[in-house]
């Protein structure tokens, strides 16, 4: 077989895969553009409320994941302790768990009839079917993405650099902020983006644990699901926004990492 034919044959699966990935996205935009009243749809409460709520909850869960996940990731990267493998597995578990199971699990923990339900009741707190529940559901499924990436990032930072910083008079915290974090930054950013994207797309756990109330628990994926049955335009518009947002963020991070001085040894 001549070389150019072999090369052409190789092109077939590549084209198949690429078009399989790209075509559905193109379809969304073609369908959106063929619709009337896109602007009006954008201003409907279903759409605006979902946008607002998704924005707030996904950023809140990201903040939670970064604040709580960073110390855990550092600990896992630097300390050897008995049961580390077990802790590791538990942290990774939500990534492979079906979201519906995560939803049930959260309900059985924080719901009114859950493990912590009576205590939360006593304190006058209700979590199930509130915005807090949305944030918890998103954090539960997305934090592992950040923690995993952060741990790998911290592990890649030479401990000798930290030791030198100590001998130069810097405290553990100062060393962490001036040496470890800057050097692990590409990994931290990458993990944060993955976690945020996962939180933004969270559907299963949210609908089980937080329900589907406009303005309180109906995030964009939920709104898309509801709209698909009654208002195709709204579903398409929301989908298009999610696609653009995801692409934009991924692309910006790529550019940022390439241009930043850290990129050189990331």
Partner 1 sequence: MLEVAVHKRLDGFRLDVAFTAREELVVLFGPSGSGKSLTLQAIAGTVQPEAGRIVIDGQTVYDSAASIDLPPQARRVGYVPQHYALFPHLTAGANIAFGLADLPRRERERRVAELLTLFDLQGLERRRPHELSGGQQQRVALARALAVQPQLLLLDEPFAALDAPLRGALRQELAQVQTRWGITTLLVTHDLADAFALGQRVIVYDGGRVIQQGTRDAVFFRPLTRRVAEFVGTGNILPAVVEQMTAGTLWLQWQGRRIAAVPAQFVPGTPVYLCIRPTQILIVRPDRLAERERENLLCGDIVGTLMQAETYTLHLRLDESNTAYDLEVALPGYVYHRLSLESEKRIMVELRRQVLHVIPRDAGA
Which residue ranges make up the site for partner 1 (CB under 8 A)? 158, 160-161, 163-171, 174, 178-179, 182-183, 261-262, 264-265
| Shortest separation between residue 167's beta carbon and partner 1, angstroms | 4
- Closer residue to partner 1 in complex, CB, 123/168: 168
Q: What is the DSSP string of 71-108?
A: HHHHHHHH---TTHHHHHHHHHHHHHS-HHHHHHHHHH
Of 154 and 209, nearer to partner 1 (C-beta) is: 154
**Least distance in angstroms from the C-beta of 182 to partner 1:** 5
Q: Which CB sits closer to partner 1, 185 or 225?
A: 185
By beta-carbon proximity to partner 1, the closer residue of 36 and 160 is 160
> Minimal distance in Å, beta carbon 177 to partner 1?
12
Query: Whole-number minimum distance, CB 193 to partner 1, in Å?
Result: 20
User: What is the closest distance, in whole angstroms, from the C-beta atom of residue 89 to partner 1 in the complex?
Assistant: 24
Do 144 and 92 touch, CB atoms closer than 8 A?
A: yes
Residue closer to partner 1 by CB (options 99, 153) is 153
Between 48 and 174, whose beta carbon lies closer to partner 1? Answer: 174
- Minimum distance, C-beta of residue 179 to partner 1, in the bound complex (Å): 6
Q: How far is the CB of 259 from partner 1 (least distance, A)?
A: 14
Helices (H), the chain: 3-33, 38-42, 45-78, 84-96, 99-110, 117-122, 131-155, 159-167, 172-175, 181-201, 204-209, 220-230, 232-259
Q: Is the dihedral of CA 40, 46, 49, 52 positive or negative?
A: negative
CA dist 132 to 64, 126, 135, 185, Å? 12, 9, 5, 29
Distances, alpha carbon 65 to alpha carbons 19, 135, 142, 154, 181, in Å = 34, 10, 8, 16, 16
| Cβ–Cβ under 8 Å, residues 240 and 29 | yes
Report the alpha-carbon angle 201-204-208, nearest 5.
Answer: 135
Closer CB to partner 1, 156 or 213, in the complex:
156
Q: Closest Cα partner for 156 from 217, 94, 99, 74? A: 74
């Amino acid at each position: 077989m001549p070389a150019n034919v072999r090369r052409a044959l190789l092109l077939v699966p590549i084209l198949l895969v690429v078009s399989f990935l790209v075509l559905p996205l193109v379809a969304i935009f073609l369908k959106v553009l063929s619709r009337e009243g896109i602007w009006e749809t954008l201003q409907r409460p279903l759409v605006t409320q979902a946008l607002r709520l998704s924005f707030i909850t996904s950023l809140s869960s990201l903040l939670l994941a970064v604040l709580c996940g960073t110390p855990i990731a550092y600990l896992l990267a630097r300390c050897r302790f008995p049961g580390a493998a077990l802790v590791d597995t538990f942290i990774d578990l939500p990534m492979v768990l079906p979201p519906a199971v995560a939803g049930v699990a959260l309900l059985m923990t924080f719901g009114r009839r859950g493990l912590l339900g009576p205590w939360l009741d006593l304190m006058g707190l209700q979590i199930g079917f509130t915005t807090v529940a949305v944030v918890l559901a998103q954090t539960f499924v997305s934090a592992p993405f950040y923690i995993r990436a952060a741990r790998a990032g911290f592990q890649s930072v030479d401990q000798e650099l930290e030791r030198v910083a100590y001998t130069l008079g810097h405290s553990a915290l100062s060393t962490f902020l001036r040496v470890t974090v800057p050097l692990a930054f590409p990994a931290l950013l990458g993990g944060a983006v993955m976690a945020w994207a996962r939180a933004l797309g969270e559907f299963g756990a949210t609908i089980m644990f937080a329900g589907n109330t406009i303005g309180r628990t109906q995030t964009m994926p939920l709104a898309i699901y509801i709209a698909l049955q009654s208002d195709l335009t709204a579903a398409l518009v929301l989908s298009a926004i999610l696609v653009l947002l995801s692409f934009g963020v991924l692309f910006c991070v790529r550019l940022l990492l390439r241009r930043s001085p850290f990129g050189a040894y990331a």
